[in-house]
Amino acid sequence: MTRITIPLLCALTFSAAFGLADDDLEVLWEYPYDPVLMNRAFSSWGRYYTQDDFILEADSRVVFIEFWGIYSPDDDYHPQPFWIIFRYDHYGMPGRYFDGARIPLQGIVETDTGEDYHGKTVYHYRIDLSGSPMGIDAGLWWLDIGAETENFKWGGRGQTGGILYHQYLQYNASAYFRLLGTRDDTRVEAASWGEIKAGFSD
pLDDT at 22: 62
- C-alpha 117, offset from chain centre: 19
pLDDT digits (tens, 9 = 90+) for 65-94: 999 999 999 987 899 999 999 999 999 999
Residue 120: name the closest of 69, 161, 166 by CA.
Answer: 69
Q: Which residue has the higher pLDDT, 195 or 76?
A: 76
pLDDT at 184: 85
pLDDT digits (tens, 9 = 90+) for 115-145: 999 999 999 999 999 999 999 999 999 999 9
Amino acid present at 50 = T
C-alpha distance from residue 160 to each of 81, 133, 142, 155, 172 (Å): 29, 30, 17, 13, 6
Region 166-188 average pLDDT: 88
Which residues on adjacent β-strands are paired with residue 83? Answer: 102, 146
C-alpha distance from residue 81 to each of 138, 158, 200 (Å): 28, 27, 11
Region 148-162 average pLDDT: 95
